[in-house]
Amino acid sequence: MSKNNEFVKFDNVDKSYDGKTLVVKGLNLDIEEGEFVTMLGPSGSGKTTCLMMLAGFETATNGEIYLDNKIISKIPPHKRGIGMVFQNYALFPHMTVYENLAFPLKVRKIPKDEADKKIDKALSMVSLQGFETRMPMQLSGGQQQRVAVARSLVFDPQLVLMDEPLGALDKNLRESMQYEIKHIHESIGVTVVYVTHDQTEALTMSNRIAVFNDGKVQQLSSPAKLYEEPENSFVAGFIGENNIFNGTVSDISGDTCKVKLKNGTEVLSNPISVKAKGDKTTISLRPERALINPENKMDNNHQGKIEEVIYHGDHTRVRINVLGNDQFILKVPNSTSNLNIKLGNQINIGWNAKDCRALDPK
């Protein structure tokens, strides 16, 4: 185990491709040994650049990157002991599955007897025993991706990097591979740094998620904390569905503030990013935190008109016009009934101040 559990460390790292614009800005990020950390963000946010610097395919403009307490900027990619999985699989098309897995072992001069054992173990991890003699073109997309994962693990790397590895798969296969990779990580305990722009994928697989935007980490938290307690408007809007109201703080006291909306109504909220009366703010509220016809009076109780009803199997998505916002979303479990959810109906909705986060203005 490395000192302070910091197995991967980005220490004040900048990256510029043209000497002018920074695509990664002052990045400080520590990853513990055995963690599964996902770098999540929109295109151009800097997440893939960070992965490429860690792999050794890009060099940091400023700052240092450490792996197991060693600065790795002068170590070439093939000597870093890192496994890589790419979106396009990057398998050798002219080699069999066995030969693809044997390649990183040959490079490391592992004897054939030992290599055979490692290949067998890696294929069993991804449920592909018996596929040794197949060529990549004889495999489905999901099977090719499994081979790519097995190849990244076959030489027992200390770290595995995965760059959007499931992006080319269809929805069902993608979801089953998420669980498969998660279970492999849990069973062997290797450190994984994973890059994706898919928030559901990140929430499903990770111990912690670093949300990137504009070259900076906006928040680094567990999936539950990221979703339930976003620290700014970008994270609240990027992770999951989110209802927002814009307004100005009219009163603040302890763990509650009053926010005056444009239509003059005051809403009680949790003051996360606001400090004083007069501060502009964007309120964030998750759809499942608002209730239709609540049995007990809540901190915020308002009447709205149903604008749209969409059936989603396990829940119904209801769009309401409330407090001047005609894009307010509620998610109603389909086990619930008699809520008068019909297009055009007026309904009462309520939510509590603690679930309503007053963040930086959008």
What are 9's two structure tokens?
């460390």
In the chain, the percentage of residues whose pLDDT exceeds 90 is 80
Residues sharing a CB contact under 8 Å with residue 172, sequence separation 6 or more, in sequence order: none
Structural domain boundaries in the chain:
3-233, 241-359
Tell me the pLDDT tens digit for each residue of 174-215. Answer: 898 899 999 999 999 999 999 999 999 999 999 999 999 999
Closest by CA position to 228, among listed 312, 288, 301, 314 = 288
CATH 3.20.20.10 fits 3-233, yes or no: no
The domains spanning 3-233 and 241-359 adopt the same CATH topology: no
CA distance 326 to 103: 58
Phi then psi dihedrals of residue 68, to 5 deg: 50, 50
Tell me the pLDDT tens digit for each residue of 227-268. Answer: 999 999 999 999 989 999 999 999 999 899 999 999 899 999
DSSP 351: E
- In what helix (H) or strand (E) does residue 291 lie, and over which residues does it extend? strand 291-292
> Which CATH class for the 241-359 domain?
mainly beta
- Residue 284 near residue 330 (C-beta atoms within 8 A): no
